[in-house]
Chains A and B, each alone.
Chain A
Amino acid sequence: MKRPVAVVGVGQTHHGARRADLSIPGLIREAVDRALTDAGLTHDDIDAIVIGKAPDMLEGVCQPEQFLVGAMGGYMKPVLRVHTAGSVGASTAIAAMTHVASGLYDRVLTIAFEKQSEGNAMWALSPNMPFTPPLVAGAGGFFAPYCRAYIAKTSCPPHIGPMTAANARDNATRNEYAHLRDPMSVEDVMNSPVLWDPIRYLETCPSSDGAVALVLAAGDLAKQGPRKPAWIRGAASYAEAMWVPGRDQVSPRAGQVCAKHVYDQAGITDPWNQIQTAEIYVPFAWFEAMWLENLGFRDVGEGWKAIDRGEQKMGAHLPINPSGGVLCTNPIGASGMLRLGEAALQVMGRAGAHQVDGVENALGHAYGGGAQYFAMWVVSTEAP
């Protein structure tokens, strides 16, 4: 990076199954206003805007960034629109970071959203494509075999998914912005119906309406803000081809490479001990164990054991998803940026009731496509 970049403002909407009180631009504006207020800035201070969301078909508006220019405050500004499937929120924020790092823009607003109640995600994600067997099963149907493969590969016992889901819900009870905030027990999860073997109903993410916005600023300007900034110490987005012989969908190489690149930038050689909390993209409970291994926190086959020992809980060794994560709030296009924004709040010490003590470094992570797209950053209390 040519110059240091920090998160200086974070704003998110309250999330829910249906924000009937807001139009799509209203949803955007709620997040944008909160992020600007948080940063102590106005629209006039913003040099460029980078917006991301998942498939346009989720709301039925093609290239909606164009109709949202007013709501974003983008009039006569440079506006770019990112789409990298489920990882989009994270790769959008990283694209915004590149804007600042390039030296061309001092302060950039980045936004991600999804208003899933405007459409039908299951339909939108299940088209009939040529030369491809129709799946008509949404993301759960696509990822269930990956979870089964993980279980087969590591002998992960059947209670790990339910433990993960119950813990996420427990975390979300302390996050005022989360969509699902009712606690549930491991037994509740075990007793919920199987949707796509091995994924049970209560091991899946909800469909949410929500938006998140971040303000990123160059080094010197970041220091002048009202808040302690969250310094971006490493960030990258990687993707890999789908049809590669021997490709490991359980622990995709793009995720490993991306994590290594980010850790190298941040000077992290031992993520398990140098990172104090991580917001990782877990849309189906089994992915938490999978990503603990893919991200290098635990060795292959050891991810589920850390969960079994409760080392990912609040107050334990490495709290994962203290916000409740994607399992409790999933406005798809925004989910990745929520992970990065929550990581930033943790190092700023401003995560409220779900704050983890003593966070110096935090990881924000997202993935998308057929577990092909990865985007992540490490934020820190210390400037690079």
Chain B
Amino acid sequence: MSALRNVALVGFAQGPIVARDRHRMSTEMLYPVVREALAQVGATRDDIAYQVSASTDYMDGRPFGFVAALDVMGSWPPRQDLHLEMDGSFAAYYAWLKIQAGEADSAIVCGHGKTSEGEPERILNLALDPYYQAPIGLGPTATSALQASAYMARTGATDADLAAVAARSRAAGAKNPDTQVREAAAATALQRTDWAVEPLRTGYLPPIGESATCLVIAAEGKAEKLCERPVWIQGVDHRSEMQSLGARDLSRSAGAKLAGEKALAMADVGAAKDVDLVELMATTPVEELILCEALGLDATAKKPVVNPSGGPLCGHPIMSTGLVRLGEVFRQLTGTAGERGVAGARRALAHASMGHCLQQNIVWVLGAQRRWS
């Protein structure tokens, strides 16, 4: 591998995560966060070389949902551009590659999705293969329940263990004014919630929300001009597994494990537990337990703190949920995370996933220090 450039997160803006924004269209939700992110870095759109957006047509209920976003991303004069039908975290990865290739020195990365336009449970059913899995009506809740069963059977984890994870997320989310559900809930109370699909209870599921997000990244040399405390990308990797639920061990995440190993090696960090905090895109308590196992983390240890934001169990704006994890790390390492801030945090890990049951995973290692000299 040839030498890599230091690239940093320099600005991040996020709209309020709400179950339904009755007053604004998708583009109206995106426009203010683009303006806010640019204002944070004191730049105009002309100062930023590249743009990538992340959304999925089905969530907006129309083809080409991303085309309208061009107008509010400041695409005039014409911009170098790409759109990924993926979570914003993967769009950030492509922007990072573009900078590594020497084709840009900076980029804005937008995530948007208006989940209230449709029924995400039914839409994500359509992401399963159309011959065998989709026709039997599986949605993300049902596939997550299959995964939970597999994990509990293998490890002996109990309902109380799941409730404990959910309760910890909820306690953290109570300190996060930017997330959707901000009320702590005791594990015992969550254990009294109804089954969604056994063994998952409604209290263990994420609130599906909508929001828009905008991240600004820049290469060394420019990053320091745009931001007082750039958060440097030290390592990143992503991997995909097969979709078929019967073709993989649902109780584990081989993809997150490999992506984590590669990202940590790139960052020259010995183990995930050596960082100060971790933001995981875990949409169920079981996903959190599986991801912690894959990354070699003990979620109950004092360090690293897992999901100090409350994680997706307190706010799940689909297509931005992964990008919010990067944004949370940015806030933590720039000391702007407020009450949920982890004191003295210098290095962190951010994760995102796509697909059912953690099919595709991306792991980022980020720090206050440059990786390459």
Binding site for B on A (CB under 8 A): 1-3, 23-24, 54-67, 69-70, 74-85, 91, 95, 98-99, 101-104, 124-125, 127, 129-131, 236-244, 252-254, 257-258, 369-370, 372-374
Contact = CB atoms under 8 A, between A and B. Distances in A.
Contacts of A131: 25
Given A62-B127, A253-B77, A239 B242 contact: no
Interface in B85-108: 85-86, 90, 93-94, 97-98, 100-103
B48 to A, nearest CB: 14
A240 B63 contact: no
Contacts of B70: 239-242, 369, 372
B203 to A, nearest CB: 27
Nearest to B133: A67
Contacts of A373: 67, 81
Contacts of A58: 63
B238 A78 contact: yes
Contact of B127 (A63, A77, A127): A63
Contacts of B81: 84, 237-239, 373
Contacts of B309: none
B126 A61 contact: yes
A66 B355 contact: yes
A239 B51 CA distance: 10
A46 B77 CA distance: 37
A300 B353 CA distance: 48
A10 B76 CA distance: 35
Given A57-B57, A241-B76, A2 B242 contact: no
Contacts of A101: 101-103
A63 B87 CA distance: 11
A47 B84 CA distance: 19
Given A98-B101, A237-B81, A80 B94 contact: yes
Contact of B359 (A66, A83, A102): A66
Given A60-B130, A104-B1, A239 B78 contact: yes
6 contacts: A1-B101, A54-B63, A63-B127, A66-B243, A79-B360, A239-B75
Interface of B: 1-4, 25, 56-58, 61-64, 66-68, 70-71, 74-86, 90, 93-94, 97-98, 100-103, 123-124, 126-131, 134, 237-244, 247, 254-255, 258, 354-356, 359-360
Contact of B97 (A24, A102, A238, A369): A102
Interface centre among B82, B93, B126 (most CB of A within 10 A): B82
A61 B78 contact: no
A70 B359 CA distance: 12
Contact of A2 (B102, B237, B247): B102
A244 to B, nearest CB: 5
Given A75-B240, A258-B78, A63 B97 contact: no
A56 B242 contact: no
Given A237-B81, A241-B75, A242-B67, A57 B58 contact: yes
A240 B71 CA distance: 8
A244 B76 contact: yes
B78 A253 contact: yes
A59 B123 CA distance: 14
Contacts of A65: 85
A75 B258 CA distance: 12
Interface centre among A60, A67, A125 (most CB of B within 10 A): A67
Shortest Cβ-Cβ A-B pairs, 8 listed = A55-B63, A254-B78, A103-B2, A239-B81, A102-B100, A101-B101, A240-B78, A62-B126
Nearest to B238: A78
A156 to B, nearest CB: 25
Contact of A103 (B1, B56, B359): B1
B64 A2 contact: no
B75 A62 contact: no
A267 to B, nearest CB: 17
Nearest to A128: B62
Contact of A242 (B71, B77, B90, B254): B71
Given A61-B127, A63-B56, A63-B127, 5 more contacts: A3-B2, A54-B63, A61-B134, A79-B240, A102-B101
A84 B53 CA distance: 10
A243 B360 contact: no
Nearest to A55: B63
A77 B64 contact: no
B61 A127 contact: yes
Contacts of B25: 130-131
A152 to B, nearest CB: 24
Contact of A80 (B75, B78, B84, B247): B84
B239 A78 contact: yes
Contacts of B129: 61, 67
Contacts of A125: 63
Contacts of B254: 76
A95 B95 CA distance: 10
A239 B79 contact: yes
A293 B323 CA distance: 40
Nearest to A67: B129
Contacts of A57: 57-58, 63
A69 B94 contact: no
